[in-house]
Amino acid sequence: MSDLAPVLAVIDANLDQSLARLFDLMRVPSISADPAFAKDVRRAAEWLVADLKTIGFDASVRETPGHPMVVAHHAGPAGAPHVLCYGHYDVQPVDPLDLWESDPFAPAIKDLGAGRKIITGRGSSDDKGQLMLFVEACRAFKQAQGTLPCAVTMLFEGEEESGSPSLKAFLEANARELKADVALICDTGMWDRDTPAITAGLRGLVGEEITVRAANRDLHSGEFGGAAANPLHILAKILADLHDETGRVTLPGFYDGVEETPPEVLKMWEDLDQTAETFLGPIGLAVPSGEKDRSVLELVWARPTAEVNGFAGGYAGQGFKTVIAAEAHAKVSFRLVHRQDPAKIRAAFRDFIRARLPADCSVTFNPHGGSPAIQLDFHSPLVKKAKAALTDEWPKPAAIIAAGGSIPVAGEFKEILGMDSLLVGFGLPDDRIHSPNEKYDLSSFHKGQRSWARILAALGA
């Protein structure tokens, strides 16, 4: 800790300068989804390369079929671990512009009173403010000690907000260069303003689009009703059969590879004081709909799901049309946990549909995504070191949490580079990412730099 004190002192002393650098990056409208901003996306990549070079990184802009990657390397002490720091420098579009209280690309500090200040502007939280925490922590180490505690590779993507179409091929083509001992991902959040969090689990995803066909055309329901198969009825019943009366998914083999959450982890989540009322109340609900006798946090963090995301067919326009549709369509997604196999889940679902179809009906499938869950050992040395480092920095001990959604890059790091990912971020639920008036707490930006400095020192030790 005595070796770390000068590093933390540099971060404190240079907060204004680090804010100025962040603001420079935020002023670049690097909107990856809109081709009109392609030059700005590249300009943001070039800005990062130039900045990383000032602190001794071998940095470069790397071409892809889409927007460029930023890759940078810095050596560490002999025998020290090698970490890969991942973030993205592209941002979401700003529409609707008239809902912004200020120019989304004119970052500023806003005082909310009671000692709370925020950084306003697009990218403040997602992900430029978070990405720069890595850079500023390394800058402080170089200024205070002349070196870094670990070997560090930076990988900053320019297409995350538009689906990362170039990422997988880039990782495959550059696997030897990018492989490290662990990936550090900053695109997550805290539990609350005083409680940092390590995201130790991410659910995987399988998506399927289904079309059930019956007659060769839409039919008059008076002439054919009761005799002709109705694909809307058929598909609705099949989808209803996906769950039993206890909320469990009925696909054969669905729970293969699903483990029970350790009791000590369940107790940790219980201590976060998230109830069904506090979780569901803000969205106008009160009763959990999933598996019985499990907490809401266990349901969304550690249990697999099957959800119907869309259902269509027949006539749904103005007025009324007595028709039996020729086709019915549905979109279904499965969130996976632990060691569930996406390919097996997809195959089981297709068999489930086919087995329930009448003989004269047909079905086609269109796959959408298939990534496994990410699960760190809650007791691994990596998690323990990060938890201790974060707990030293923040008012409350770090929480070990999971996420109900999916972060595909973590799965690709595991699949392609063979690396586990440590997900630590400092966003807050009210940061309004992807929405007008995005913000990032100043305390997140300041203490986030200090937190990553502590984590890098802990890993290096």
Q: Smallest Cα–Cα separation from 130: which of 444, 409, 408, 410?
A: 444
d(CA 42, CA 28): 10
Contact (CB, 8 A) for 358 and 215? no
Class of domain 5-202+373-460: alpha beta
CB contact set of 310 (below 8 Å; sequence gap of 6+): 329, 330, 331
Contact (CB, 8 A) for 87 and 426? no
Check residue 3 and give its pLDDT: 86
Check residue 247 and give its pLDDT: 95
Q: pLDDT tens for residues 61-109?
A: 999 999 999 999 999 999 999 999 999 999 999 999 999 999 999 999 9
d(CA 128, CA 427): 11
Distance, first Cα to last Cα, the chain = 11
d(CA 238, CA 407): 30
SS3 174: coil
Check residue 404 and give its pLDDT: 84
Look up residue 310 and give its two tokens.
Answer: 């869309």
d(CA 333, CA 95): 28
d(CA 112, CA 425): 22
**For residue 367, cis peptide bond before it (omega within 30 degrees of 0):** no
Contact (CB, 8 A) for 322 and 314? no
CB contact set of 435 (below 8 Å; sequence gap of 6+): none
The overall longest dimension of the chain from CA atoms, in Å, is 86
Check residue 2 and give its pLDDT: 53
Check residue 253 and give its pLDDT: 97
Question: What is the number of other CB atoms lying within 10 angstroms of the CB of residue 307?
Answer: 10
SS3 117: strand
Contact (CB, 8 A) for 197 and 394? no
CATH architecture of the domain 204-258+304-371 equals 2-Layer Sandwich (3.30)
Domains of the chain, residue spans: 5-202+373-460, 204-258+304-371
d(CA 414, CA 318): 50
Helices (H), 309-430: 342-355, 381-393, 408-417
Strand partners, 378: none
Q: Please give the average pLDDT of every successive group of 10 residues along the chain, which has 461 residues.
A: 86 98 98 98 98 98 98 96 98 96 98 96 98 98 97 98 94 98 95 95 93 96 95 97 96 96 91 93 92 94 96 93 96 95 97 97 93 87 95 95 86 92 94 96 98 97 88
Q: Name the pairing type of β-strands 116-120 and 327-336.
A: unpaired
Residue with tokens 């420079």: 24
CB contact set of 232 (below 8 Å; sequence gap of 6+): 313, 314, 325, 328
